[in-house]
Amino acid sequence: MFLSTSHNKIDLKCRVSIPASFRVNLEKSNENLILFKSLQFKCIEGTTSTRMQAYIDAIDELDALSDDAFLLRMMMADSFEIKFDINGRVVIPDTLMNFASLSDKAVFMGIGQSFYIWSPTEYENQYMKSQKILKEKGPPKLFIKKKIE
Amino acid sequence: MFLSTSHNKIDLKCRVSIPASFRVNLEKSNENLILFKSLQFKCIEGTTSTRMQAYIDAIDELDALSDDAFLLRMMMADSFEIKFDINGRVVIPDTLMNFASLSDKAVFMGIGQSFYIWSPTEYENQYMKSQKILKEKGPPKLFIKKKIE
DNA sequence: TTGACTACCATAAATTCCCATGCTATCCCA
DNA sequence: TGGGATAGCATGGGAATTTATGGTAGTCAA
């Protein structure tokens, strides 16, 4: 489970330390890390190879000519299997750096099954937005309901 | 698992480097590489010999006398088992070069169980198309469902 | 004997690997 | 309880390896 938020530096080689707790999480379950473009936000999403494999297997179940299959294949094209160096760092591929407007700082945000990597400004925006919605609409009822089921 | 996208050069002998990660993927599972005409797009599809067998089996499920089965068999007839040179390059057969309108550049696009080889312009078109669908229809249902589970 | 194809060598650029440093939080003992 | 030792984490830099790509020589067939 990926939880908590942390701010790490991206160096000139596009290297960044994955938060130790995330790493331990992957190592414990003997998983490789996959990074890909979020389909919803302007950020990178990180998850396990097992989870990605599940998506790949799911493509075969769909009508091969459908839009959903098409989009999922495109998503694979923008996904990367990432290796750690001995210190727990990874290199973020150029494509993803650009997509998420990353330069020298990254915000890691654990969201359970996966985690997000934001640029500081984009993270700030999303955070503000969530606070605003919370104030106007109150806590998310649907979410609570789903959890209890 | 074939993931990520990369742009490689095709030289005058129609040689092109298969992206290292794709090669490793094939070597790890001790598979040979098969290239064939995509059934859907104007591009080459690359996959393992095992996966190719799965395609062939899928054709057998169809009515053997149907037009679909006929067309699929004709397409399959243009598939090639490809050998690497010592540097990880392959020679793309003329038939496939023409079919995919390839000349001096190739875009390799991993889509999980297999990968596509596009001409740069054709790739661009497909990518644009995916962005458009994503904007209009939102992420694939499968993706959303999986996330909530 | 020419042309196509294959196998191998060479090189520059990119990427990976590993060592070193500094910081911070934790621990332990006086 | 304070302060130094320790361990783990984040980060910087450089050496070693890999990758992509250009080229050449050898081989086989027409």
| Contact (CB<8Å) A67/B113 | no
Q: Residue B148: what pLDDT?
A: 39
Distance from CA of A21 to the nearest CA of B (A): 21
Query: How confident is the model over B7-31, as a mean pLDDT?
Result: 96
Between the CA of B119 and the C1' of C14, what is the distance in angstroms? 24
pLDDT class for B3, splitting at 50, 70, 90? very high
- Which of chain C's bases lie under 7 Å from a protein CB? 5-10, 15-20
Going along chain A, which residue ranges are E strands?
Answer: 5-9, 15-17, 33-37, 44-48, 79-82, 89-91, 105-110, 115-118
| Contact (CB<8Å) A71/B4 | no
| Contact (CB<8Å) A77/B4 | yes
Distance from CA of B97 to the nearest CA of A (A): 21
Between the CA of B77 and the C1' of D22, what is the distance in angstroms? 33
Tens of pLDDT, residue by residue over B60-93, are 888 888 888 888 888 788 899 999 999 999 999 9
Q: Residue B146: what pLDDT?
A: 46
- The answer, yes or no, to whether residue B149 has pLDDT greater than 50, is no
Chain A residue numbers touching B3 (CB-CB < 8 A): 34, 52, 76-77, 79-81
pLDDT, averaged in runs of 10, over chain A (149 residues) = 94 96 93 96 96 93 93 97 95 97 96 95 95 91 55
Query: How confident is the model over B85-106, as a mean pLDDT?
Result: 96
Q: Residue B122: what pLDDT?
A: 98
- The answer, yes or no, to whether residue B32 has pLDDT greater than 80, is yes
Query: How confident is the model over B37-50, as a mean pLDDT?
Result: 94
For the range B82-85, what are the long-range contacts, defined as Cβ-Cβ under 8 Å and sequence gap of 24 or more?
A: B82/B32, B82/B33, B82/B34, B82/B35, B84/B18, B84/B23, B84/B33, B85/B15
Q: Indicate the residue type of A15.
A: R
Report the 3 state secondary structure along chain B. Answer: CECCEEEEECCCCCEEECCHHHHHHHHHCCCCEEEEECCCCCCEEEEEHHHHHHHHHHHHHCCCCCHHHHHHHHHHHCEEEECCCCCCEEECCHHHHHHCCCCCEEEEEECECCEEEECHHHHHHHHHHHHHHHHHHCCCHHHHHHHHC
- The answer, yes or no, to whether residue B104 has pLDDT greater than 70, is yes
Tens of pLDDT, residue by residue over B111-138, are 999 999 999 999 999 999 999 999 999 9
Tally of residues, chain B: 149
Distance from CA of B99 to the nearest CA of A (A): 20
Q: Residue A145: what pLDDT?
A: 54
From B117, which residue of chain A is nearest by alpha-carbon distance? A77
Between the CA of A23 and the C1' of D14, what is the distance in angstroms? 26
| Contact (CB<8Å) A81/B3 | yes
Q: Residue B55: what pLDDT?
A: 83
